Structure 1
Amino acid sequence: MTERGVLLWIHGGGWRARSSEDGAALTGHGLRVLPATYRFVAEARWPAQLDDVRAAARAARDRAGGLPLLVGGDSAGAMLALHLALRGVDRPDDVAGALAYWPPVDPLATDWRRLRGGDDPWAELLGRRPAPGDPATLDVTVATHVGNGVPVLLVQGTADPAVPVSQSVGLAAALLAGGHPVHAWLTHGGHSLALDRPDIHATTATFLDTVLPPPTAPPAPANTRN
């Protein structure tokens, strides 16, 4: 398949570790998938993680050969991908789209706190408990940065035990209000769903068809006559 774009894939893991999902299943959509790494919370606090994936995005753009640059990730990596897309790498409009699978996006949501109880990775990311009016909490909240019009794909399992489905629902509403094209797929299942599951594959393909050039058909074989 002809490459249609370059996808910087940002892994999940609660900003604490690396999840096993590497985004390789997305190569079937004509994407060249390049991995990003970032410092974990044991090494650095926010916004060091955003700085790291910005640097990775610059390197991916240098390798893109003129292809559109997209950013994507799962869970905590999806949150970082959304920040990259909504805030830009070097300009507000230099990312073609974001693919965010089960992203945590709002550290102050009541159902997030109820679900996670005392295990709040946002607190480790910030170095303190998120709080209303706190500048770092405001900065890390994804919806704070809507408005540049970048297209966004959101995929979320309705039975996700780690990230409440309302995180994606609330963000979809904020993105739509901010003028973003949004594809949101709320589906059965929990956290860390397979990216090549038929419904997720189809939703991803539909989104990519709206933001990337169509695949180039292979040339027809030349007619030969004896």
Structure 2
Amino acid sequence: MTERGVLLWIHGGGWRARSSEDGAALASLGLRVVAADYRFSHEARWPAQLDDVRAAARAARASAGGRPLLVGGDSAGGTLALHLALRGVDRPGDVTAALAYWAPVDPLDDEQRRRRPSGDDPWADLLGHPPAAGDPATADATVASHLGAGVPVLLVQGRDDVPVPAAQAVELAGRLLAAGHPTHLWLTHGGHALDLARPDLRAVTAAFLDNVLPAARAD
């Protein structure tokens, strides 16, 4: 299949480790999938991870041959993909689209905290301290703090996701739409870390790509 764009894939794992999902299932939709690496939270605090994926995006863009650059990821990687797309690689609006699968987006979500074992908070590890209202680092790590560039966004979320409450995706979708971002939200059955090749996930991703990418071109 002719490549329609380059997808920088950012892996999940709670900013602590690498999840098994590598985004390879999306290659069949006409994307060249390029992996991004970033420092884990025990190696560096926020926003070092954003700096790292920005560097990876610059390398992916340089090798894209003029094709559109999209960014995507699962779970914590989806969070980074949203930050990268909404804030830009070098300036807001310089990424074609974001694809975020079951991404945590709100470090202050009380429901998310209640669902985790006591003392286990990936956000606190990422920031170096517990998230708090009025804290500049917490605000900076909150996805909804960076809306307005108009980048299209796909949000995919399982209704029964335990680590990431589905309400986070629903609320973010509303805020994205209000800020002028073309937004697709797929709220579906299942929990966390769904199979990207599942027919409904594949179909909604394909529909989103058809909306944001030009028709396939020959080299």
Q: How many residues align?
A: 218
Residues 1-226 of structure 1 mapped to structure 2, 5 A cutoff: 1-118=1-118, 119-216=120-217
Regions of 4+ moved over 3 Å: none
Q: Unmatched 5+ residue regions in structure 1? A: 218-226
> Structure 1: which amino acid aligns with 2:36?
A
TM-score scaled by length of structure 1: 0.95
> Structure 1: which amino acid aligns with 2:76?
A
Q: SS of the residue aligned with 1:147?
A: coil
Partner in structure 2 of residue 220 of structure 1: none
Percent identical: 74
Q: Unmatched 5+ residue regions in structure 2? A: none
Cα distance, 1:216 vs structure 2: 4.6
TM-score scaled by length of structure 2: 0.97
Cα distance, 1:113 vs structure 2: 1.4
Distance 1:117 1:25 in 2: 32
Partner in structure 2 of residue 223 of structure 1: none
The superposition leaves residues 100-142 of structure 1 with CA deviations (integer Å, 9 ceiling, x where unpaired) of 0000000101211111242210000000000000000000000
Distance 1:214 1:25 in 2: 20
Q: SS of the residue aligned with 1:6?
A: strand
Distance 2:146 2:126 in 1: 18
Distance 1:13 1:35 in 2: 14
> Structure 2: which amino acid aligns with 1:181?
P
The superposition leaves residues 129-175 of structure 1 with CA deviations (integer Å, 9 ceiling, x where unpaired) of 00000000000000000110000000000011111101111110110
Distance 1:173 1:179 in 2: 10
Q: SS of the residue aligned with 2:6?
A: strand
Cα distance, 1:215 vs structure 2: 2.9
Distance 2:169 2:2 in 1: 31
Q: SS of the residue aligned with 2:59?
A: helix
Superposition RMSD on alpha carbons, in Å?
A: 1.2
The superposition leaves residues 69-94 of structure 1 with CA deviations (integer Å, 9 ceiling, x where unpaired) of 00000000000000000000002111
Q: SS of the residue aligned with 2:32?
A: strand
Distance 1:44 1:29 in 2: 34
Distance 1:161 1:112 in 2: 8
Distance 1:153 1:117 in 2: 30
Find the structure with the greater CA-based Rg: 1
Distance 2:149 2:176 in 1: 10
Distance 1:74 1:160 in 2: 13
Q: SS of the residue aligned with 1:82?
A: helix
> Structure 1: which amino acid aligns with 2:72?
G
Q: SS of the residue aligned with 1:214?
A: coil
Q: SS of the residue aligned with 1:116?
A: coil
Deviates more, 1:165-174 or 1:137-146: 165-174
Distance 1:117 1:175 in 2: 31
> Structure 1: which amino acid aligns with 2:146?
H
